[in-house]
Amino acid sequence: MKAKNRDVAIAILPYMEEIYNKREIFFDNSYEMVSNEVWQIFDNFEELNNIKSKCDLNVKLEKTTNMKLYSEEMIKAYQTGDKDDPYGDFDSIYKEVYESYKKVENEYTDEFFFAKVNDEIVGITSGVYDKEIYGIYGLAVKKDFRCKGIGKEIIKQQLEMCKDKKLKLAFLQTEEGYYPADTYRKLGFKDVCTEYYYIKRDK
């Protein structure tokens, strides 16, 4: 992280019970909380058809293995600079991470998707799953295509994949206090826990 000139963040999760419940003691004024991310799950697949959106566009998810293009499109979707966007100043180090991604053989399957409208890439998302659980990661819609229901369409299609695979639940995480968290709740996602991130303040 030092080589990249980045600060190291400390993640605090509920299973770290003593620290989690006494965060204000362990992380005093010498630390800054930089993020609090809520984890949410969806398990009511019988209600999928009741998820409606105002989207009148034909949104298609297209699987890709072109990680260079994926990383470029991810940065375009995330780096908006908007203050009401939880990832508006998304760190470009993630571009390097995805660009150099290599599949590791394990029990999980990774899939990366472009969200397209009329063959134009309007967003990205990815899924990681095993025999029971599906994780939705990195969902983002480009700024010019937001507020059109595209994000909901992407989520719904990924949940339909879960149902087709007969998986038990889907999960995702997003920044608390911004519009995506409430949007996912309206779609039927339920909060499970909140993860907090702290960094050490400069002296």
Strands of the 31-42 sheet, one edge to the other: 10-12, 190-200, 31-42, 169-175, 133-141, 120-129, 109-117, 59-64
- Report pLDDT digits (tens) over 17-44: 999 999 999 999 999 998 899 999 999 9
HEC string for 61-121 = EEEECCHHHHHHHHHHHHCCCCCCCCCCCCCCHHHHHHHCCCCCCCCCEEEEEEEEECCEE
Which residues on neighbouring strands pair with residue 197, listed in sequence order?
11, 35
Q: How does strand 133-141 pair with strand 169-175?
A: parallel
Question: What's the rounded Cα separation, in Å, for the pair 68 and 13?
Answer: 32
- Report pLDDT digits (tens) over 180-194: 899 999 999 999 999
Half-sphere exposure of 132 (CA within 13 A, CB side): 0
Question: What's the rounded Cα separation, in Å, for the pair 154 and 175?
Answer: 18
Whether residue 86 is predicted with pLDDT greater than 70 in this model: the reply is no
DSSP assignment of 4-36: TT-PPPEEE-TTSHHHHHTHHHHS-TTEEEEEE
List the chain domain ranges. 39-192
Whether CATH 3.40.630.30 fits 39-192: yes
Average per-residue pLDDT in the chain?
89
**Summary count for the chain: helices (H), strands (E):** 6, 8
- Give 103 or 16, the one with higher predicted confidence: 16
**What is the torsional sign of CA 149, 111, 98, 177?**
positive
Whether residue 9 is predicted with pLDDT greater than 60 in this model: the reply is yes
Per the structure block, which two tokens stand in for 84? 């009401």
pLDDT at position 1 is 41
The whole-model pTM stands at: 0.87
Closest CA to 78 of 91, 68, 88, 67: 88
Q: Hey, is 186 helix, strand or coil?
A: helix
Q: Hey, is 1 helix, strand or coil?
A: coil
How many CB atoms sit inside 10 A of residue 80's CB? 18
